[in-house]
């Protein structure tokens, strides 16, 4: 026993070192289990407040660029207004309104009614990174405003990411810039996508190199591709609506002669370098869809 105590005292520093490193590693790997560490990331009160303060100053210098992008987006939205329905002022509360479609002749007969499926909420970006392996965006909207994990996030031009963890006033979004490992299988963070012109389905990843370029995989060799074609969301995931722009085809090639699918370089539609405002998408019918899918899966077991 005495020897043991002497041993421990002699190597006390080393054991302290091991202990601290083990604590660090537990943190690192717990990070995947996000609820437990939500208070120790940038959505907690202290650092969230500091970032918000800092962003107030920084925001001033970006007013011109923000204004330009908002004007451009307004223009685009005005163009779609005729085919859209009443989306004014729905950020503050949920209107359970429906879209009624009437026939075009003089009878004005009611053809169908459609229920609102997606609800958009604007959010201010207060912190953003692009040069890490896993890049996150902190936004000034939290559970008080109805943000919940796994909601989709889009920017003025295209898809941005998915909400990861939420506190009262802030939320952390994992952006599309989430480095996937080299293998085509395994747990990768990808976005289900399709090509606008041909409708081929694939998955968009990021390889960790350049924040403007992504990779699209799993597009079969038979697909007809051309440069500049838009890559859009497939709508399979229940996170994003269909036909949201993800990016544009930059180049494409076959990695070797025998491969069955194309490697496509995709230019992201979103400019991750100067994000100022994003929109968080809530799928109001999502619970219903997942419940149905789960129950079917249980039936098949």
Note the residues at the interface with another protein (CB under 8 A).
12-14, 16-17, 20-21, 23-28, 30-31, 37, 40-42, 44, 46-47, 50-51, 54, 58, 129-134, 136, 172, 179, 181-182, 208-211, 273
In the bound state with another protein, the residue whose beta carbon lies nearer, of 32 and 112, is: 32
- Nearest approach in angstroms of CB 30 to another protein is 7
Report how far residue 62's alpha carbon sits from residue 89's, in angstroms, rounded to the nearest whole number.
26
In the bound state with another protein, the residue whose beta carbon lies nearer, of 98 and 181, is: 181
In the bound state with another protein, the residue whose beta carbon lies nearer, of 37 and 230, is: 37
In the bound state with another protein, the residue whose beta carbon lies nearer, of 42 and 261, is: 42
In the bound state with another protein, the residue whose beta carbon lies nearer, of 14 and 93, is: 14
Q: Round to the nearest angstrom and report the end-to-end CA distance of the chain.
A: 57
In the bound state with another protein, the residue whose beta carbon lies nearer, of 210 and 243, is: 210
| Other beta carbons within 10 Å of 50 | 13
- Nearest approach in angstroms of CB 47 to another protein is 5
In the bound state with another protein, the residue whose beta carbon lies nearer, of 53 and 109, is: 53
Report how far residue 4's alpha carbon sits from residue 14's, in angstroms, rounded to the nearest whole number.
15
SS3 120: strand
Report how far residue 168's alpha carbon sits from residue 176's, in angstroms, rounded to the nearest whole number.
24
Give 22's DSSP letter. H
Are 239 and 151 in contact by the 8 Å Cβ rule? The answer is yes
- Nearest approach in angstroms of CB 150 to another protein is 17
- Nearest approach in angstroms of CB 275 to another protein is 13
- Nearest approach in angstroms of CB 102 to another protein is 50
In the bound state with another protein, the residue whose beta carbon lies nearer, of 137 and 280, is: 137
- Nearest approach in angstroms of CB 204 to another protein is 18
Phi and psi of 283, rounded to 5°? -95, 105
- Nearest approach in angstroms of CB 272 to another protein is 10
Report how far residue 143's alpha carbon sits from residue 47's, in angstroms, rounded to the nearest whole number.
17
Report how far residue 223's alpha carbon sits from residue 199's, in angstroms, rounded to the nearest whole number.
9
| Residue position matching structure tokens 């799993």 | 218
Pairing type for strands 261-268 and 134-139 reads unpaired
Single out the residue of 55, 75, 51 nearest to residue 63, CA to CA. Answer: 55
- Nearest approach in angstroms of CB 209 to another protein is 6
Report how far residue 179's alpha carbon sits from residue 160's, in angstroms, rounded to the nearest whole number.
14
Which are the contacts of 246, defined by CB distance < 8 A and separation ≥ 6?
158, 159, 176, 191, 193, 204, 214, 231, 232, 233, 266, 268, 269
């Amino acid at each position: 026993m005495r020897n043991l105590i002497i041993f421990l005292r002699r190597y006390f520093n080393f054991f302290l070192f091991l202990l601290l490193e083990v604590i660090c590693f537990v943190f690192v790997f717990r990070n995947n289990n996000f609820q437990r560490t939500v208070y120790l990331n940038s959505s907690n009160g202290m650092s969230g407040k500091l970032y918000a303060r800092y962003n107030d100053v920084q925001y001033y210098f970006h007013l011109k660029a923000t204004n330009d992008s908002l004007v451009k987006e307004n223009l685009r939205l005005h163009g779609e207004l005729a085919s859209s329905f009443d989306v004014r002022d729905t950020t503050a509360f949920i209107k359970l309104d429906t879209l009624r479609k009437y026939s075009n002749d003089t009878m004005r007969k009611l053809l169908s009614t459609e229920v609102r499926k997606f609800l958009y909420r604007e959010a201010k970006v207060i912190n953003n990174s692009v040069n890490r392996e896993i890049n996150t965006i902190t936004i000034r909207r939290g559970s008080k405003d109805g943000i919940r994990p796994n909601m989709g996030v889009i920017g003025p031009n295209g898809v941005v990411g998915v909400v990861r963890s939420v506190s009262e006033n802030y939320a952390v979004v994992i952006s599309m810039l989430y480095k996937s490992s080299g293998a085509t299988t395994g747990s990768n963070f990808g976005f289900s996508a399709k090509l606008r012109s041909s409708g081929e389905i694939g998955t968009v990843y990021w390889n960790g190199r350049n924040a403007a370029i992504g990779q699209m995989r799993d597009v079969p060799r038979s697909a007809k591709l051309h440069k500049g074609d838009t890559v859009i969301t497939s709508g399979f995931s229940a996170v994003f609506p269909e036909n949201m722009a993800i990016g544009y085809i930059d180049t494409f090639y076959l990695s070797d002669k025998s491969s069955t699918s194309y490697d496509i370089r995709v230019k992201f539609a979103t400019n991750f370098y100067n994000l100022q405002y994003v929109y968080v998408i809530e799928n109001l019918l999502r619970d219903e869809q997942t419940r149905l899918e789960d129950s079917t899966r249980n039936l098949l077991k």
